[in-house]
Amino acid sequence: MLNRVILVGRLTKDPELRYTPSGVAVANFTLAVNRTFSNQQGEREADFINCVVWRKPAENVANYLKKGSLAGVDGRIQTRSYDNNEGRRVFITEVVAESVQFLEPRGASQGQGNAYAGGGAPTGGNDYSRQNQQPDRQSGGFNDDPFANDGKPIDISDDDLPF
């Protein structure tokens, strides 16, 4: 059973980094991928694709990507469901990134490299001087959004980990 997704697009917002109760890092972000064709009004639309990444690359994503960053994702489609606070079953389709590539060019602030789901920080002698950290990322407030983050460890059991 093959399940492979490759995306190149731009982050719609800063990534959200959270930790499971047992301390595993998870980052969520959305990629805007411009379509290569125009609709009947002659406009180029975009797809907004939710992505998740786990562990070390989650932290790299949080450190090196921000709103507007160009990034590549190699991963797979995951579907899951949960019951929302109205007792309604919500179905989610998202991309689990196995690796994330930083495509901001040489001159840009981000540096360039790879976040690999297999673990380990980006290699290759790049100087990731962490100038892009977003220290303050809680979204706060009441929220129906399954991607929302209230600053506390999220209620994801390690059973949800895909490995």
Three-class secondary structure of residue 122 per DSSP: coil
Q: Is the sign of the CA dihedral 137, 138, 144, 146 positive or negative?
A: positive
d(CA 91, CA 82): 7
Smallest distance from a second copy to CB 101, Å: 6
Site residues for DNA, window 103-162 (CB under 7 A)?
A: 106, 145, 147
**Rounded (5°) CA angle 155-22-4:** 75
Q: How far is CA 78 from CA 29, 51, 52, in A?
A: 15, 10, 10
Q: Does 82 bind DNA (CB under 7 A)?
A: no
- Which residues of the chain form contacts with a second copy (CB under 8 A)? 1-9, 33-41, 44, 46-50, 70, 72, 74, 76-79, 93-95, 99, 101, 103-105, 107-108, 114, 116, 123-124, 158-159, 161-163
User: Which listed option, DNA, a second copy, none, makes contact with residue 7 (CB within 5 to 8 Å by class)?
Assistant: a second copy
- Pick 19 or 126: Cβ nearer DNA: 126
Residue from 36, 41, 79, 85 in contact with DNA (CB under 7 A): 79
Three-class secondary structure of residue 19 per DSSP: strand
User: Which residue type sits at 100?
Assistant: V
Smallest distance from DNA to CB 31, Å: 8
User: Which listed option, a second copy, DNA, none, makes contact with residue 99 (CB within 5 to 8 Å by class)?
Assistant: a second copy
**Nearest CA-CA partner of 50 in 162, 161, 148:** 148
- Which residues are at the interface with DNA (CB under 7 A)? 9-13, 30, 32, 34, 46, 48, 50, 67-68, 79, 81, 89, 91, 106, 145, 147
